[in-house]
């Protein structure tokens, strides 16, 4: 069981250290060199930590000299500078480098995780309350009906003991969970060695079992409940093994990945502020990195 830090100064300090280990100080040799990429990433983490926007984090930095001193800011960056830095620092390649740095700090030389879990959740793309959406959906007349067909979706693999995220994937839902298992597992194995991975029935497929057990030597515990309920034996050797020799004691720990999603929503909000597909993906990546940074401080 882990907790997240509540100190903005400590979060800034940890985010600065993570960025210094994974990113160069400046994106280009001809850059203005007013702010380093390390300082701008720390500002982005602070934005999510305080659940505010770009203007809000710039105003907080302007009012709090202790926060500026923590990341050695001589002057406060304009909110558009922080917003443009998000496009660069939260791109897929840069975000993976930052995640590598957080995992390296968390595990050190202990690169084996005995028990991991995978899950995915959809987040809101609007700040409208659930009550408002239900009331609008019940109003008669097609011009007043409110239906959300698509939403930002975050999938993660986490260490069930520390709630630390080892790999993530961002996309737009609704999409089946079963298709993202292999890529997420391979991404996690590029950073750590896994002994066992837990997943719910949404990831149940014989090909996922074969990829994990035979190709990657990772034990899987996935209930063989995909498809229509039936009394017949499941198709495939590994799925039938799940029916007769299911490890229920280990599977109870799968709930810890649900706790990770709850921690992200409670500490950073249950909706993303981006309006486009790419901006929503950047918001999801920043949520994952901020979550890991807040746990790093405790460890």
Q: Which tokens sit at 118?
A: 């995978």
Whether residue 117 is found in the same domain as residue 206: yes
Query: Where does 164-221 have alpha helices with state H?
Result: 181-189, 206-210
Contact between residue 293 and residue 266 where contact means Cβ atoms under 8 Å apart: no
How many domains does one find in the chain? 2
Phi, psi of 168 (to 5 degrees): -150, 160
Can you tell me whether residue 146 is helix, strand or coil?
Answer: coil
- Give whole-number Cα distances, 267 to 2, 187, 249, 261, in Å: 14, 25, 30, 10
Overall average pLDDT of the 260-270 stretch: 92
Q: Give residue 84's domain range.
A: 8-89
Whether residue 149 is found in the same domain as residue 259: yes
Residue 121 vs residue 173, higher pLDDT: 121
Residue 1 pLDDT > 80: no
Residue 134 pLDDT > 80: no
The pLDDT score that the predictor gives to residue 137 is 66
Phi, psi of 221 (to 5 degrees): -130, 100
Q: How big is the CA angle at 81 (ends 290 and 29), to the nearest 5 degrees?
A: 100
Pairing outcome for strands 219-221 and 151-159: unpaired
Whether residue 114 is found in the same domain as residue 84: no
Whether residue 121 is found in the same domain as residue 76: no
The pLDDT score that the predictor gives to residue 4 is 84
Residue 164 pLDDT > 90: yes
The pLDDT score that the predictor gives to residue 125 is 81
238: nearest Cα among 262, 261, 218, 265:
218
Contact between residue 132 and residue 118 where contact means Cβ atoms under 8 Å apart: no
Whether residue 179 is found in the same domain as residue 256: yes
Whether residue 177 is found in the same domain as residue 45: no
Whether residue 133 is found in the same domain as residue 201: yes
Whether residue 114 is found in the same domain as residue 246: yes
Report the 10 Å Cβ neighbour count for 99. Answer: 22
Overall average pLDDT of the 49-67 stretch: 95
Give CA–CA dist 257/24, Å, rounded. 32
Whether residue 172 is found in the same domain as residue 36: no
In a domain, 179, yes or no: yes
HEC profile for 51-64? Answer: CCCHHHHHHHHHHC
Who contacts 215 (Cβ-Cβ below 8 Å, separation ≥6)? none
Q: Which tokens sit at 244?
A: 């007769």
The DSSP bridge partners found for residue 155 are: 120, 169
Q: pTM here?
A: 0.91
The pLDDT score that the predictor gives to residue 299 is 47
The pLDDT score that the predictor gives to residue 298 is 52
Share of the chain above pLDDT 70, in %: 93
Whether residue 133 is found in the same domain as residue 257: yes
Residue 281 pLDDT > 90: yes
The pLDDT score that the predictor gives to residue 175 is 87
Whether residue 208 is found in the same domain as residue 137: yes
Q: Which value, to the nearest 10 degrees, does the dihedral of the CA atoms of residues 66, 70, 71, 73 take?
A: 30
Q: How big is the CA angle at 270 (ends 97 and 116), to the nearest 5 degrees?
A: 50
Whether residue 68 is found in the same domain as residue 173: no
CATH number at residue 142: 3.30.420.10
């Amino acid at each position: 069981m882990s907790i997240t830090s509540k100190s903005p100064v400590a979060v800034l300090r940890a985010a600065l250290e993570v960025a210094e280990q994974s990113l160069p100080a400046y994106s280009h040799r001809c850059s203005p060199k007013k702010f380093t990429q390390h300082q701008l990433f720390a500002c982005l983490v602070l934005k999510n930590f305080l659940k505010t926007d770009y203007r809000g984090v710039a105003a907080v930095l302007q009012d709090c000299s202790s926060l500026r001193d923590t990341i050695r800011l001589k002057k406060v960056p304009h909110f558009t500078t922080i917003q443009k830095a998000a496009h660069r620092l939260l791109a897929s390649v840069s975000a993976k480098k930052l995640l590598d740095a957080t995992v390296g700090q968390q595990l050190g030389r202990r690169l084996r995780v005995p028990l991991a879990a995978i899950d995915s959740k959809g987040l809101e793309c609007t700040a409208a309350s659930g009550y408002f959406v239900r009331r609008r959906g019940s109003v008669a007349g097609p011009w007043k009906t409110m239906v959300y067909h698509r939403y930002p979706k975050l999938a993660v693999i986490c260490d069930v003991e520390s709630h630390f995220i080892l790999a993530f994937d961002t996309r737009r839902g609704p999409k089946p969970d079963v298709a993202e298992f292999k890529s997420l597992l391979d991404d996690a194995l590029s950073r750590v060695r896994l002994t066992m991975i837990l997943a719910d029935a949404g990831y149940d497929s014989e090909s996922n079992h074969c990829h994990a057990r035979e190709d990657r030597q990772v034990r899987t515990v996935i209930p063989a409940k995909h498809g229509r309920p039936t009394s017949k034996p499941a198709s495939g050797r590994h799925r039938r093994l799940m029916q007769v020799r299911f490890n229920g004691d280990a599977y109870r720990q799968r709930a810890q990945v649900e706790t990770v999603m709850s921690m992200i929503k409670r500490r950073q909000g249950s909706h993303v502020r981006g309006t486009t597909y790419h901006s929503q993906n950047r918001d999801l990546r920043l949520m994952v990195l901020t979550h890991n940074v807040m746990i790093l401080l405790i460890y």
